[in-house]
Amino acid sequence: MEKFMNRSMKVYQKSTFSSRMKNRSYLGQIGIFADTGGTSTEKLGLDPTLILRLTEGADTKRTVHEFINDQRDRFMLEYALSTKRNTIQEFEKHTTMKERQLMKAEKKLEEDAMAFEEFLRENDQRSVDALKMFVFSLWPDRLFPSFFLPFSFSDHSPIQSKLTNLFLFSAAQETINKLQMTTELKKASMEIQLMK
Protein backbone atom coordinates (compact mmCIF):
# COMPACT_ATOMS: atom_id res chain seq x y z
CA MET A 1 0.00 0.00 0.00
CA GLU A 2 2.83 2.35 0.82
CA LYS A 3 4.50 1.51 -2.47
CA PHE A 4 1.46 2.67 -4.37
CA MET A 5 1.37 5.88 -2.37
CA ASN A 6 5.08 6.46 -2.97
CA ARG A 7 4.60 6.13 -6.74
CA SER A 8 2.17 8.99 -6.80
CA MET A 9 4.31 11.25 -4.58
CA LYS A 10 6.89 13.70 -5.78
CA VAL A 11 10.56 13.15 -4.98
CA TYR A 12 10.82 15.64 -2.12
CA GLN A 13 7.79 14.03 -0.44
CA LYS A 14 9.23 10.54 -0.57
CA SER A 15 11.32 9.17 2.28
CA THR A 16 13.32 6.09 3.12
CA PHE A 17 12.08 3.30 5.32
CA SER A 18 14.34 4.27 8.24
CA SER A 19 13.23 7.91 8.16
CA ARG A 20 9.59 6.82 8.11
CA MET A 21 10.19 4.63 11.16
CA LYS A 22 11.83 7.50 13.00
CA ASN A 23 8.97 9.85 12.24
CA ARG A 24 6.24 7.48 13.32
CA SER A 25 5.63 6.39 16.88
CA TYR A 26 5.16 2.72 17.58
CA LEU A 27 1.51 3.17 18.49
CA GLY A 28 0.83 5.05 15.26
CA GLN A 29 2.47 2.26 13.30
CA ILE A 30 0.17 -0.42 14.75
CA GLY A 31 -2.87 1.71 13.96
CA ILE A 32 -3.93 3.29 17.24
CA PHE A 33 -5.44 6.71 16.74
CA ALA A 34 -7.26 9.07 18.99
CA ASP A 35 -10.87 8.18 19.77
CA THR A 36 -12.02 11.07 17.64
CA GLY A 37 -9.93 9.90 14.73
CA GLY A 38 -11.57 6.54 14.22
CA THR A 39 -10.47 3.25 15.77
CA SER A 40 -10.05 2.79 19.49
CA THR A 41 -8.06 0.25 21.49
CA GLU A 42 -11.16 -1.80 22.21
CA LYS A 43 -11.93 -2.18 18.51
CA LEU A 44 -8.39 -3.36 17.81
CA GLY A 45 -8.43 -5.75 20.78
CA LEU A 46 -5.33 -4.32 22.49
CA ASP A 47 -4.78 -4.31 26.23
CA PRO A 48 -4.47 -0.78 27.72
CA THR A 49 -1.76 -1.94 30.13
CA LEU A 50 0.26 -3.24 27.19
CA ILE A 51 -0.04 0.13 25.49
CA LEU A 52 1.15 1.90 28.63
CA ARG A 53 4.11 -0.44 28.91
CA LEU A 54 5.06 0.14 25.30
CA THR A 55 4.83 3.91 25.57
CA GLU A 56 6.86 3.99 28.78
CA GLY A 57 9.58 1.90 27.20
CA ALA A 58 9.63 4.11 24.09
CA ASP A 59 10.14 7.30 26.07
CA THR A 60 13.16 6.20 28.05
CA LYS A 61 16.10 4.81 26.21
CA ARG A 62 18.61 2.89 28.26
CA THR A 63 22.21 2.35 27.49
CA VAL A 64 23.84 -1.05 27.51
CA HIS A 65 25.67 -0.13 30.71
CA GLU A 66 22.39 0.70 32.47
CA PHE A 67 20.87 -2.54 31.22
CA ILE A 68 23.82 -4.55 32.56
CA ASN A 69 23.60 -2.76 35.92
CA ASP A 70 19.87 -3.48 36.12
CA GLN A 71 20.44 -7.13 35.31
CA ARG A 72 23.23 -7.31 37.90
CA ASP A 73 20.98 -5.76 40.55
CA ARG A 74 18.18 -8.16 39.66
CA PHE A 75 20.55 -11.11 39.92
CA MET A 76 21.87 -9.94 43.30
CA LEU A 77 18.33 -9.55 44.64
CA GLU A 78 17.33 -13.00 43.39
CA TYR A 79 20.51 -14.50 44.84
CA ALA A 80 19.93 -12.85 48.23
CA LEU A 81 16.34 -14.05 48.21
CA SER A 82 17.35 -17.62 47.38
CA THR A 83 20.04 -17.70 50.10
CA LYS A 84 17.54 -16.40 52.65
CA ARG A 85 15.07 -19.07 51.60
CA ASN A 86 17.77 -21.70 51.98
CA THR A 87 18.72 -20.49 55.45
CA ILE A 88 15.05 -20.44 56.48
CA GLN A 89 14.67 -24.02 55.26
CA GLU A 90 17.81 -25.04 57.18
CA PHE A 91 16.48 -23.39 60.35
CA GLU A 92 13.14 -25.15 59.90
CA LYS A 93 14.91 -28.51 59.49
CA HIS A 94 17.03 -27.78 62.55
CA THR A 95 14.02 -26.83 64.68
CA THR A 96 12.06 -29.91 63.62
CA MET A 97 15.07 -32.08 64.45
CA LYS A 98 15.41 -30.44 67.87
CA GLU A 99 11.68 -30.84 68.50
CA ARG A 100 11.95 -34.54 67.68
CA GLN A 101 14.91 -34.87 70.04
CA LEU A 102 12.98 -33.05 72.75
CA MET A 103 9.98 -35.34 72.29
CA LYS A 104 12.25 -38.40 72.51
CA ALA A 105 13.88 -37.00 75.66
CA GLU A 106 10.48 -36.34 77.24
CA LYS A 107 9.31 -39.84 76.41
CA LYS A 108 12.53 -41.33 77.80
CA LEU A 109 12.20 -39.25 80.96
CA GLU A 110 8.62 -40.41 81.46
CA GLU A 111 9.68 -44.03 80.94
CA ASP A 112 12.56 -43.56 83.38
CA ALA A 113 10.25 -41.97 85.95
CA MET A 114 7.80 -44.86 85.65
CA ALA A 115 10.62 -47.40 85.92
CA PHE A 116 12.02 -45.58 88.94
CA GLU A 117 8.64 -45.53 90.66
CA GLU A 118 8.31 -49.26 90.00
CA PHE A 119 11.80 -49.76 91.40
CA LEU A 120 10.87 -47.80 94.51
CA ARG A 121 7.77 -49.91 95.03
CA GLU A 122 9.73 -53.13 94.59
CA ASN A 123 12.50 -51.88 96.87
CA ASP A 124 9.99 -50.89 99.55
CA GLN A 125 8.39 -54.30 99.32
CA ARG A 126 11.77 -56.04 99.55
CA SER A 127 12.82 -53.97 102.56
CA VAL A 128 9.51 -54.73 104.30
CA ASP A 129 9.90 -58.42 103.50
CA ALA A 130 13.50 -58.44 104.76
CA LEU A 131 12.49 -56.64 107.94
CA LYS A 132 9.68 -59.14 108.53
CA MET A 133 12.04 -62.05 107.95
CA PHE A 134 14.54 -60.61 110.41
CA VAL A 135 11.91 -59.91 113.03
CA PHE A 136 10.34 -63.33 112.67
CA SER A 137 13.77 -64.94 112.94
CA LEU A 138 14.25 -63.20 116.30
CA TRP A 139 10.82 -64.22 117.55
CA PRO A 140 9.96 -67.74 116.50
CA ASP A 141 6.43 -67.60 117.84
CA ARG A 142 5.62 -65.33 114.83
CA LEU A 143 3.89 -62.75 116.93
CA PHE A 144 4.42 -59.18 115.91
CA PRO A 145 6.97 -57.79 118.35
CA SER A 146 5.92 -55.05 120.64
CA PHE A 147 9.03 -52.93 119.99
CA PHE A 148 7.46 -51.69 116.75
CA LEU A 149 4.72 -50.08 118.75
CA PRO A 150 5.47 -46.56 120.01
CA PHE A 151 6.99 -46.05 123.45
CA SER A 152 7.51 -49.74 124.13
CA PHE A 153 11.30 -49.84 123.82
CA SER A 154 11.91 -49.99 127.54
CA ASP A 155 10.28 -53.42 127.87
CA HIS A 156 12.97 -55.23 125.86
CA SER A 157 16.66 -55.74 126.17
CA PRO A 158 19.08 -53.03 125.04
CA ILE A 159 20.23 -55.17 122.09
CA GLN A 160 16.72 -55.39 120.75
CA SER A 161 16.18 -51.65 121.12
CA LYS A 162 19.49 -50.91 119.35
CA LEU A 163 18.57 -53.24 116.51
CA THR A 164 15.16 -51.66 116.28
CA ASN A 165 16.67 -48.18 116.19
CA LEU A 166 19.14 -49.30 113.53
CA PHE A 167 16.42 -50.74 111.31
CA LEU A 168 14.18 -47.74 111.78
CA PHE A 169 17.07 -45.39 110.98
CA SER A 170 18.03 -47.34 107.84
CA ALA A 171 14.40 -47.45 106.69
CA ALA A 172 14.03 -43.71 107.32
CA GLN A 173 17.30 -42.99 105.50
CA GLU A 174 16.20 -45.09 102.52
CA THR A 175 12.84 -43.31 102.41
CA ILE A 176 14.57 -39.92 102.50
CA ASN A 177 16.85 -40.94 99.63
CA LYS A 178 13.87 -42.11 97.59
CA LEU A 179 12.02 -38.87 98.24
CA GLN A 180 15.06 -36.84 97.15
CA MET A 181 15.34 -38.81 93.91
CA THR A 182 11.63 -38.38 93.28
CA THR A 183 11.85 -34.60 93.74
CA GLU A 184 14.84 -34.47 91.36
CA LEU A 185 12.86 -36.35 88.72
CA LYS A 186 9.91 -34.01 89.16
CA LYS A 187 12.19 -30.98 88.80
CA ALA A 188 13.68 -32.41 85.61
CA SER A 189 10.25 -33.09 84.12
CA MET A 190 9.10 -29.55 85.02
CA GLU A 191 12.21 -28.09 83.35
CA ILE A 192 11.45 -30.01 80.18
CA GLN A 193 7.86 -28.79 80.22
CA LEU A 194 9.07 -25.21 80.65
CA MET A 195 11.35 -25.61 77.63
CA LYS A 196 8.31 -26.29 75.46
Measure Cα distances from 118 to 30, 96, 168, 178, 190 in Å: 90, 33, 23, 12, 20
Query: Rounded to two decimals, what is the model's pTM?
Result: 0.37
Determine how many CB atoms are found less than 10 A away from the CB of residue 147.
22
Q: Write down the pLDDT at residue 56.
A: 61
Range of the domain at 39: 2-60
Whether residues 107 and 42 fall in one domain? no
72, part of any domain: no
Whether residues 187 and 106 fall in one domain? yes
Q: How many domains does one find in the chain?
A: 2
Helical residues (DSSP H) of the chain, grouped into ranges: 2-8, 17-23, 26-29, 41-44, 48-59, 64-138, 158-195
75, part of any domain: no
pLDDT in tens, 146-195: 544 444 444 455 555 666 666 666 767 777 777 788 888 888 878 877 77
167, part of any domain: yes
34, part of any domain: yes
